[in-house]
Amino acid sequence: MQEILFPEFNCKKNINLTISEIKHLGLVRSEENLQKLLELYDEIDDIDLKREIVSSIGRQKNYKIIFDFIKNHVYNCGFMDVVYQMYRTCLYKSKTNNEFKDLGTEIKAHFNNEVLDKMYDYFVYKQSRISKKNRVLKYQKPILLRGNNVETLNKIDENSVQLIFTSPPYYNAKIYSNYHSYKDYLNDMFQSLKACHRVLEDGRFIIMNVSPVISKRPGREFESIRYSIHFDFHNILSKAGFYFVDEIQWIKPESSVKNRNGGYQQTRMPLSYKPNCINESIMVYRKNAPFLLDKNIAMYDKSFANDEKFDSSNCWYIAPATNKITLRFFQKNCAGAF
């Protein structure tokens, strides 16, 4: 590779350097380029440029200068994005240098940050070189599980399910859902989510359709309670070992939902306003895994791709189905039941 030099280089005259130019400067390992990058770091305030400067410094070969640079700047650089780049350098240079390994450990402990934790997990997984095993799907036909979901899920092998899409019981809103308290309800849901976590393959998605629920008044003189189920589910999903990816809003026609603004229409008093709830949350979470989604995608060929039609936003306008799925469908299509 031809060495990239800037003979007339002066930091104050090159503040308008682009990310691409900084990358080119970092690609060539030389003492001269390293010195220019160090000077640029002190002169430039733009966060994106600063990140690229740190990344380019990390590509250089003078370990002592790079080590001293990170040690002297990582705790006072002011931006976590810059810290991540410095920590990244420590991770990769730790493969051949214990000083960087120790410094990386100090940085991770000092900031106690979830992104640094994930960076470390990804790095360790990548270095482990786990052998790829032939993937065999045990469950290739529909199966109906009958009974308590925690008990029936225990009959399924660990890490054998590729997707979970479910709508949990809405706290005491249906006759099949009867809990002594909201605390009991959330605890039961957590037990179910732990069972889901066990059977789901690493890095796979669990998708939940939930919405707030309002309790009936025990009497005219008492107030009803509206439960923010979708907010509380985030906490128990995280506790069960999943992390948040996206939230999709299912938007239904207003005519299909219960009218809640009758009182307001009568009084026109602002405090009595209640909107008609035409949306439900579709919460998309992924099982924690020390690798990128690309690993799961690579398991499929192009024939698995969807057609060209898709919803490009996180608002899906879908009218509720008018016909319910019957047990007859399951009896006809399911291979068996536990």
Q: Is the dihedral of CA 194, 199, 203, 204 positive or negative?
A: negative
9-23, 204-218, 317-331: which range is least confident on average? Answer: 317-331
Domain end, chosen from 128, 163, 187, is at 128
**Mean pLDDT of all residues belonging to the chain:** 86
Question: Phi/psi class of residue 129: alpha, beta or left (left: φ > 0; alpha: ψ in -120 to 50)?
Answer: left
Could you tell me the two tokens for 121? 């997990």
- Does the pLDDT of residue 293 top 70, yes or no? yes
324 in a domain, yes or no? yes
Residue 239: which H helix or E strand, with range?
Answer: helix 229-240
Specify the pLDDT at position 332. 52
Q: How many domains does the chain have?
A: 2
pLDDT, tens digit, 9 for 90 and up, residues 177-195: 788 899 999 999 999 999 9
143 in a domain, yes or no? no
User: At 86, is the secondary structure helix, strand, or coil?
Assistant: helix
Specify the pLDDT at position 12. 46
Could you tell me the two tokens for 297? 């995608």
User: At 209, is the secondary structure helix, strand, or coil?
Assistant: strand
Q: Do residues 157 and 203 share a domain? A: yes
Domain end, chosen from 83, 99, 128, is at 128
Tell me the pLDDT band of 336, cut-offs 50, 70 and 90.
very low
Specify the pLDDT at position 176. 66
58 in a domain, yes or no? yes
**DSSP letter at 196?**
H
d(CA 66, CA 33): 13
275 in a domain, yes or no? yes
Q: Across the chain, where does the E strand assignment appear?
A: 161-166, 200-210, 213-214, 226-227, 242-251, 279-287, 315-317
Specify the pLDDT at position 322. 63
5-14, 121-130, 177-186, 215-224: which range is least confident on average? Answer: 5-14
Average pLDDT score over residue span 62-73: 96
User: At 97, is the secondary structure helix, strand, or coil?
Assistant: coil
Q: How far is CA 243 from CA 153, 235, 286, in A?
A: 21, 10, 5
Could you tell me the two tokens for 17? 């350097």
pLDDT, tens digit, 9 for 90 and up, residues 231-262: 999 999 999 999 999 999 999 998 888 888 88
pLDDT, tens digit, 9 for 90 and up, residues 123-179: 999 887 654 555 666 777 778 888 888 999 998 999 999 999 999 888 877 766 788
Specify the pLDDT at position 4. 42
Q: Do residues 172 and 27 share a domain? A: no
37-46, 236-245, 304-313: which range is least confident on average? Answer: 304-313
- Does the pLDDT of residue 309 top 90, yes or no? no
Specify the pLDDT at position 241. 96
Q: Is the dihedral of CA 66, 67, 72, 76 positive or negative?
A: positive
244 in a domain, yes or no? yes
Specify the pLDDT at position 323. 60
Specify the pLDDT at position 34. 94
- Specify whether the CB–CB gap between 70 and 86 falls below 8 A: yes
Q: Do residues 83 and 158 share a domain? A: no
Q: What are phi and psi of 204, to 5 degrees?
A: -90, 170
Q: How far is CA 196 from CA 168, 219, 243, in A?
A: 12, 38, 14
d(CA 289, CA 155): 23
88-92, 96-100, 174-178: which range is least confident on average? Answer: 174-178
**CATH no. for residue 164?**
3.40.50.150
Chain centroid to CA 25: 34
1 in a domain, yes or no? no
Q: Do residues 160 and 236 share a domain? A: yes
d(CA 244, CA 233): 11
Q: Is the dihedral of CA 199, 202, 205, 208 positive or negative?
A: positive
Q: Do residues 173 and 103 share a domain? A: no
d(CA 315, CA 52): 35
Domain end, chosen from 95, 128, 161, is at 128
Q: Do residues 207 and 91 share a domain? A: no
Residue 267: which H helix or E strand, with range?
Answer: helix 262-267
Specify the pLDDT at position 250. 94
141 in a domain, yes or no? no
Q: Do residues 297 and 250 share a domain? A: yes
Q: Do residues 153 and 119 share a domain? A: no
Q: Do residues 89 and 187 share a domain? A: no
32-41, 80-89, 134-143, 286-295: which range is least confident on average? Answer: 134-143
Task: Using the CB atoms, write b or e for 5-41: b if 16+ within 10 Å.
Answer: eeeebeeeebeebeeeebeebbebeeeebbebbbbbb
Would you state the torsion angle of the CA atoms of residues 286, 287, 293, 299, taken in this order, to the nearest 10 degrees? -120
- Specify whether the CB–CB gap between 68 and 103 falls below 8 A: no
What does R_g of the chain's alpha carbons equal in angstroms?
Answer: 27
- In this structure, the strands spanning 242-251 and 200-210 are unpaired
Who has greater pLDDT, 49 or 332?
49
Domain span at residue 106 reads: 11-128
6 in a domain, yes or no? no
* Residue 48 neighbours by CB distance under 10 Å: 11
d(CA 333, CA 327): 10
* Residue 252 neighbours by CB distance under 10 Å: 17
Q: Do residues 156 and 294 share a domain? A: yes
> For the whole model, what pTM was predicted?
0.79
- Does the pLDDT of residue 326 top 70, yes or no? no
